[in-house]
Amino acid sequence: MKEATSSTEIVNSILDAGWFAHKLTDTPRVPGMLRFIPPKPCDILSCIHGMMVGIETKQIKKWQGFALRFLRENQIEALTKINKAGGHAFIFLNVRIPPDKEANQKRENRLIIIDWSTWDRLPINIIKIKDVQYVTGKNGRFDLTAFFNHIGEKR
């Protein structure tokens, strides 16, 4: 499963809830052609409860740590600027772990939502990722209504 798939699932989940979301596509790169390709600020731009929301999606396939080094400089800059401008920026970390019949472990499809404004206060590592709140994915969708309604109440 690719990160693009989880990004599409997140966009569809936001649209299903009646909000606006748009997945920014990567500019195709043509081998042998050099040209300026502007970096995209994040993976998803959305408007929820009248708030601008920027979402950077990442995907991991095992219980591993997640660090700032997994983000590009332009992504860090964009998420920071979104928050400073009064919007909300998040990292949506999709954890997809295949089932392990030998360990009697079911398939995991979790969406861990990291608020960019609290990034510096949130140590993310293998132990913390397992313990942090998450939304479970079912049938290619995540129910994000409660999370975004809570954010809307903070306005």
pLDDT of res. 130: 64
- Give start and end residues of each alpha helix (H) in 39-144: 73-84, 126-131
What is the rounded (10 degree) CA torsion for 121, 126, 130, 133? 20
Contact of 59 with 2, CB cutoff 8 Å: yes
What digits encode the pLDDT tens for the residues 68-111? 778 888 999 999 999 999 999 999 988 887 777 776 667 778 88
Low-confidence stretches of the chain (pLDDT < 70) are 1, 27-37, 63-65, 103-105, 120-131, 152-155
Domain boundaries, the chain: 3-23+39-153
Alpha carbon distance, N-terminus to C-terminus of the chain: 35
Helix (H) or strand (E) run with residue 70 in it: none
Would you call 135 helix, strand, or coil by DSSP?
Answer: strand
Contact of 109 with 94, CB cutoff 8 Å: yes
Query: Class for domain 3-23+39-153, per CATH?
Result: alpha beta
pLDDT of res. 54: 97
pLDDT of res. 151: 75
